[in-house]
Amino acid sequence: MKQRHLDSARENYEARLAKEMDAQQEKEKDLQRMSKLELELIEQLQMKQEEQKAAYEELEIALLGTTGGKGAGGTAKKGAASKKEAAAAAEPGEEEVQKAFAAIDTEGTGVIPTEKLAELMAALGITLDDTQLLEASEQLDAQNAGKVSYGEFVMWWNG
């Protein structure tokens, strides 16, 4: 009787152990599948980020004639240089920039309110959407003082 009880306990133990091992193997397979999926998603995200970066650079060149950095290969795309040159040729010169700034700076302080930036850009023949205007304002008024100086604007304009 004692032996039967021991045999039964051993069988139960072995059955539970086999179930636990099977469950652990399934979990390991699930983890492997999830890891593979995670890597695929990371790769997709990286590709999407590169696409967005390239699109942003193209947009920046097309609208402002400037670039914020280099493309994925270390240089801007081939057509971008010619677009930038064409935009630079059509851009107002420093004298025109000075006149447009002075027209808004009616007090002659060399400073305009940040909210007049859209008006200044329009006077220079460039229309910015809300996002572009916000980015330009953040760059020109980094201290969030609510004003843009002529010197900062010219440096940004020529940058």
Please write the tens of the pLDDT for every residue from 77-136.
Answer: 444 444 445 455 567 888 899 999 999 999 999 999 999 999 999 999 999 999 999 999
Domain ranges of the chain: 2-85, 91-158
Model-level pTM? 0.45
pLDDT at site 70 = 42
Q: What is the CATH number of domain 91-158?
A: 1.10.238.10
Report the length, in residues, of the chain.
159
Q: What is the pLDDT of residues 2-44, one digit of tens each?
A: 889 999 999 999 999 999 999 999 999 998 998 888 888 888 8
